[in-house]
Amino acid sequence: MAETGPESGKKLMLFKKKSLPKAEDTQPLGPPWTILVVDDDRQVHTLTEEVLRDFTFEGRPLQLLSGYAGKEAEALLTAHPDAAVILLDVVMESSHAGLEVVKFIRDTLGNQNLRILLRTGQAGQFPEEQIFEDYDINNFLEKTDLTSRRLKTALKVALRAYRVISELDQARRQEAELRKAADAASLAKSNFLHVMSHELRTPLQGAKGPFEEFKSQFHLFTGMKRLEQLIRALDDDLLKAQFLTAVGETREEVSDIAGQGLNAVEHLLGLIEDVLDFARIEAGKLRLAIAPQPVGQAIDDVVRIVRPLADKKGLTLTVAMERDHIVLADMKRLKQILFNLLGNAIKFTAQGTVTLEAAPRDDRLLFRVRDTGIGIPADKLAAIFEAFEQVDNSATRQAGGTGLGLPITRELVRKQGGEIQVHSTVDQGSTFEFTLPLAPNS
């Protein structure tokens, strides 16, 4: 039941008398729930404190903080950002003071976790449906119909919702912090790889020049030319021929050794370039120049490089494409994709064939690289596109590599608007397929 207060003329709450349960002699399971009671009627505070004196939720008691006006409520809210629930009167110093507090909570403080329970003694003056639409409140309680049981039930529902929302909010914050830390670690790793790769590439580029000179220009060295002049000036033709033969053999040996060194340097430079590409991709700094590109030119350039590798192993390398096509791609990166896939096919094929096919499929061009190599186990198909992953067998170990070629290839395909996939059977071979967009009217 309810009665009218002599001073305010507003309806007052009269809670039914019920026997209060004895407080258990146990320790709280956590800190008190902070509950704000905001009402300009002191009797409402007294009755609320009486009803909730022994109230606990999930083993935790309540801490009631009282406010008597909208501005006072704002000060309490600012001082207690961890408050769980506010029992808020609507009519205080003005007819809509409580609603202004709601705006302060949601808009000014940006507090979406606090559960707001509006209490009003002006039954019928504030239509619930309209208030729920216009204001972010969580429950609407009329004092004239508010019993002790209903207040406790509403408070339990509000506290449970606050706890769930707070846990989710904390989980989101932790996830954001972990993601930020992971991004920072990834960026630091990428920067480290980028710097170290540049530091390694510079001396290797310096070493490449001398190897190239020894391989192709050893006979032009001043000392070698002088030695040949001295030999040719000899009167003994037999001795002259023996010396010239020895010089020729020396020149071939130096060229062969220099060629091995040059191959090693170029291999290391290729590995470093893979690391640099990977670092660029992870840092989001890989720049592509997408434009209409002739596929035939890219295939010819790449096949010219890899054919000697196939010939050396006795493999048959074939290209099947009915006509030239124009795709939207970065020419340098398209060649890199083809080189990686053809190079891998040749590397892991001991005998048989390697085939490159290209054919239109709807608005895309489908590239297919087939081989008759060692194949890939089914449980490794997904892993081969992960950074630094390699199929764990002796052939892979012998071939070497960083494990970055296929991950980089996948990212290059994706960044050019395509997709890549693989089909493979152990001891029968593998087929890598990727698509790129066809240029309009191609």
Structure tokens at 134: 């216009």
pLDDT score for 130: 75
Beta strands per DSSP E along 147-290: none
Q: What are the residue ranges in the chain where pLDDT is below 70?
A: 1-26, 122-128, 145, 193-194, 197-198, 387-402, 442
Distance from CA of residue 212 to its chain's centroid?
42
- State whether residue 116 is helix, strand or coil: strand
Strands 60-67 and 33-38, bridge-based pairing: parallel
CB 42 within 8 A of CB 68: yes
Q: How far apart are CA 436 and CA 364, in angstroms?
A: 6
Q: How far apart are CA 146 and CA 390, in angstroms?
A: 69
Count CB atoms within 10 A of the CB of residue 97: 19
Could you tell me the CA-to-CA distances from 120 to 20, 75, 387 in Å, in that order?
A: 26, 21, 62
Could you tell me the CA-to-CA distances from 136 to 74, 102, 106, 116, 163 in Å, in that order?
A: 16, 7, 7, 8, 18
> Could you report how far apart the first and last alpha carbons of the chain are, in Å?
83
pLDDT score for 413: 95
Distance from CA of residue 114 to its chain's centroid?
32
DSSP tag of 16: P
pLDDT score for 264: 81
Q: How far apart are CA 289 and CA 329, in angstroms?
A: 7
pTM: 0.52
Domain residue spans in the chain? 2-17+27-146, 180-282, 291-437
pLDDT score for 388: 59
Q: Which of the following CATH numbers is that of domain 291-437: 3.30.70.2340, 3.10.105.10, 3.30.565.10, 3.90.550.10?
A: 3.30.565.10
At 378-414, the pLDDT tens digits run 888 888 888 655 555 444 445 555 678 899 899 999 9
Query: What strand order describes the sheet that includes 316-320?
Result: 316-320, 353-361, 364-371, 429-437, 420-425
Angle between the N-to-C axes of helices 331-347 and 405-415, in degrees from 0 to 180, rounded to the nearest 10: 150
Domain 2-17+27-146 has CATH 3.40.50.2300: yes
At 38-69, the pLDDT tens digits run 999 999 999 999 999 999 999 999 999 999 99
Q: If you write DSSP's letter for every residue of 253-296 in order, what string do you get?
A: HHHHHHHHHHHHHHHHHHHHHHHHHHHHHHTT------EEEEHH
